[in-house]
Amino acid sequence: MKITTHSEKQTINLGQKLAQNFEGGEIIGLVGELGAGKTNLIKGIGQGLGVKQTITSPTFVLMKVYPLKSLNSKIKRLVHVDAYRLKTGQDLIAIGLQDYLKNSETITVIEWANKIKNILPKKTIFAKIEFTNKPNQRIIKIE
């Protein structure tokens, strides 16, 4: 699937729409250069799942967990990982990421997923965000 967005808002909306189809246990790997829009896509996913807190980039903490309060949803939390500073997934294994990856009540979204491919399962859905020659345009490829 290939989608072109023309603003930050549209990328957030795309994240919201994607989240509406999640059933629990999805792992989304985001790939794209600095400022591509990875955090904005996660913001939308968070909104779509009903996360109340503002989602900010977890660059300095590797991983943030956002609990979901909804009683009627199978999905209980959104885990946001930023692998920017990593070369492998070892540090994330050390802080327990793999338990979340295996958990069917968890949605995990990983910025810079290309850096920790070695620990991501085959079922990971990758979203590649690319710049174009227009400043507010992005091409988002999901596979």
Ligand X SMILES: Nc1ncnc2c1ncn2[C@@H]1O[C@H](COP(=O)(O)OP(=O)(O)OP(=O)(O)O)[C@@H](O)[C@H]1O
List residues binding Mg ion (CB under 5 A): 38-39, 57, 111
Beta-bridge partners for 106: 77
- When binding is defined by CB under 6 A, the residue of 19, 44, 109, 111 that contacts ligand X is 111
Using CB under 6 A as the binding rule, whether residue 106 contacts ligand X is answered as no
28: partner contacted, choices ligand X, Mg ion, none (Cβ within 5-8 A by kind): none
Which residue is at the shortest CB distance from Mg ion?
A: 39
Question: What backbone torsions phi and psi does residue 103 show, to the nearest 5 degrees?
Answer: -90, 125
Using CB under 6 A as the binding rule, whether residue 48 contacts ligand X is answered as no
Nearer to ligand X, 38 or 115 (CB): 38
Long-range pairs for 32-38: beta carbons < 8 A, 24 or more residues apart = 32/128, 32/129, 32/130, 33/131, 36/129, 36/130, 36/131, 36/138, 37/5, 37/8, 37/11, 37/129, 37/138, 37/140, 38/111, 38/112, 38/129
Using CB under 6 A as the binding rule, whether residue 136 contacts ligand X is answered as yes
Using CB under 6 A as the binding rule, whether residue 35 contacts ligand X is answered as yes
Interface residues toward ligand X, by CB under 6 A = 5-8, 10-11, 32, 34-40, 57, 111, 136-138
